[in-house]
Structure 1
Amino acid sequence: MSTYDSDKEQSRQQTIVQWIEDDGWMMDILRSVRHLNLPDSWVCAGFVRSKIWDMLHQIDSRTVLADIDVVYYDPNQLDENNEKEWERQLSCMQPAVPWSVKNEARMHIANRIEPYTSTVDAISCFPETATALGVRLDEDDQVILVAPCGLEDVFEMKIRVNPRFLQTRGDVHIYQQRVQQKNWQHTWNRLTIVDK
């Protein structure tokens, strides 16, 4: 990566962090998740991606999310019921939020793939490069952003299959079905689907 590309990536990262820090609703979500103190936890995927696309499309009202994806990594507690308990606790804090909590240390079983080594490793294998994003708060309320596939595609509004997803799952049809079902271009009309 050239110095220019590195500077551009850093600038994009700072922009996203600022957008989130200026969004009281998003900060409340992040504080609720931090309160659970889950190991290696992130709020990810559409929570971050949709904010970026809303801002780039100058959409004033927040695009409604089907769910708020919370992921964490705990190889010592693989019972799915634990995830439901975390969802219940989050719902007690914020009942109007459609919470979805997943332990990425368990997801290889559900998806019949090799185990992930961390939550960020799991995020790096999300179906689209533009979706492979996660955020969390540190103790000082600073937003930490992880983007293992980079920020170019999400900022250039490109929907592209993630090579790591194909490597781990080996099935482009899952990605293709998602793109068709999500119909993102209906909400964000400047998006381009790179892989169909």
Structure 2
Amino acid sequence: MIGRLPLDQQLESLRAALCRNEVLTQVLARTATLDLPGWYVTAGCLFQTVWNVATGRPPTNGIKDYDVFYFDAGDRSWEAENAVIEAARDVFSGLPAEVEIRNEARVHLWYEEKFAVACPPYESTEAAIDSFPATTCCLGVRTKADGTWRVYAPHGLSDVFNLVVRPNPVLAPRSVYEAKTARWREQWPELTVLEWPSSGAGAAVSPG
């Protein structure tokens, strides 16, 4: 199983799997041209591509959108973020997918109103990725000028390859985790979803 391989081999397998998704590779390449500070392509488009490859589905199957995070603390205004969003419309035009771009330096300004939970200001894009409701989601990739990839995976890659979804109760409420995992299990019934912990570690829920 890939999830039991040494990390360097897991990284090779990750890149091989992600490159099967031609929309994703285009998003990576086009995002690089925007020269955004601290950017990553992140969240579902990454781990769901791996799930698709691992289960023999088309690489883009079930992927709702492609998330791009960046971090610009120098200007936290909506106007500055919207200028980036508007510029990206042209960059991503023609792609058969929705690309969502967000400045993670300003998430704390709107998060509580949307989720009823206060969000301390992030200090980096990585800190924002750390706060996803499942540790399996905590994954970011960007391409560098020399063609190499930078991968941010604070919880490793084993759960991603093993189709395990593990809660990350650091910010997002339980309801967000349970809503997301319910949708994912409909699309990928092979998943093993771990319950939100009442105390200590979550208990396994059998897949399907």
Residues in 2 aligned to 1:15 and 1:153: alpha-carbon distance in whole angstroms: 14
Which residue is 2:155 aligned to?
149
> Which structure is higher in helix share?
1
**Alignment deviations for residues 122-177 of structure 1 (CA, whole Å, 9 cap, x no partner):** 10111111111111100022222111121121111111211xxx2335x3222223
- Of 160, 178, 183, 1:176 maps to 178
User: 2:37 matched to 1:34?
Assistant: no
CA-CA distance at 1:54 after TM superposition: 0.6
Counterpart contact for 1:84–1:101, Cα < 8 Å: no
Residue 129 of structure 1 is aligned with which of 128, 135, 151?
135
SS at match of 1:155: helix
- Deviation, 1:93, is 2.2
Q: Secondary structure of 2:57's partner?
A: coil
Q: TM-score, normalised by structure 2?
A: 0.81
Q: Please give the alpha-carbon distance, in whole angstroms, between the structure 1 residues aligned to 2:74 and 2:24.
A: 29
Gap runs ≥5 in structure 1: none
Aligned length: 186
**How far apart, CA to CA, are the structure 1 residues paired with 2:179 and 2:122?**
23
Following superposition, the deviation at residue 13 of structure 1 comes to 1.6
Give the superposition deviation at 1:62: 2.0
Q: Is the 8 A contact 1:21 1:143 kept in 2?
A: no
Residues 9, 78 of structure 1: alpha-carbon distance in 2 compared, 3 angstrom cutoff: same
User: Hey, what does 1:52 align to over in structure 2?
Assistant: 50
1:70 matched residue in structure 2: 68
Q: Distance in 2 between matches of 1:56 and 1:159?
A: 15
- CA distance, structure 2, for counterparts of residue 177 and residue 25 of structure 1: 26
Measured against aligned partners, the alpha-carbon deviations of 1:13-36 in whole angstroms (never above 9, x if no partner) come to 221112334544322211111111
Give me the whole-angstrom Cα distance separating, in 1, the residues matched to 2:79 and 2:185.
Answer: 35
Output the aligned Cα RMSD: 2.1
Using the TM superposition, give the Cα deviation of residue 99 of structure 1 relative to its aligned residue in structure 2, in angstroms: 1.6
Structure 1 distance, partners of 2:9, 2:48, is 19
Identity of aligned residues (%): 25
Contact 1:87 1:99 (8 Å CA) reproduced:
no
